[in-house]
Amino acid sequence: MAWLVLIISGVFEAGWAISLKLSNGFSRLWPTVSFAVLAAVSFSGLAWALRELPVGPAYAVWTGIGASLTAIIGMIWLGDSVSTLKIVSLVLIVAGIIGLNLAGGGH
């Protein structure tokens, strides 16, 4: 259950990052409110999951999901540039997360 909560919290991390972008430096009300709510949910889920999971692999999963989804959403919907290097880098993030979990201590 802790892994599921962690993965969902990683998705919420991407949500607050996108909301932060859309808030235009906290100058737009609803994206700012969305940022605050999504950040609170994301950090709360991470904190809950860390009660059972080792911090290294769990934090890597949380940030990896958030960073990867944020980059993908930025490229698809927010007009961020797409390049082979960006795609390869996203694959390397996922590979690093898998490697940390395979190295032990994750279960």
What pLDDT score was predicted for residue 106? 47
For the stretch 3-40, what's the b/e string if a residue is b when 16 or more beta carbons lie within 10 angstroms of its beta carbon?
Answer: bebbeebbbbbbbbbbbbbebeeeeeeebbebbeebbe
* pTM score: 0.89
pLDDT of residue 105: 56
Q: 24-78, pLDDT tens digit by residue?
A: 999 999 999 999 999 999 999 999 999 999 998 899 999 999 999 999 999 999 9
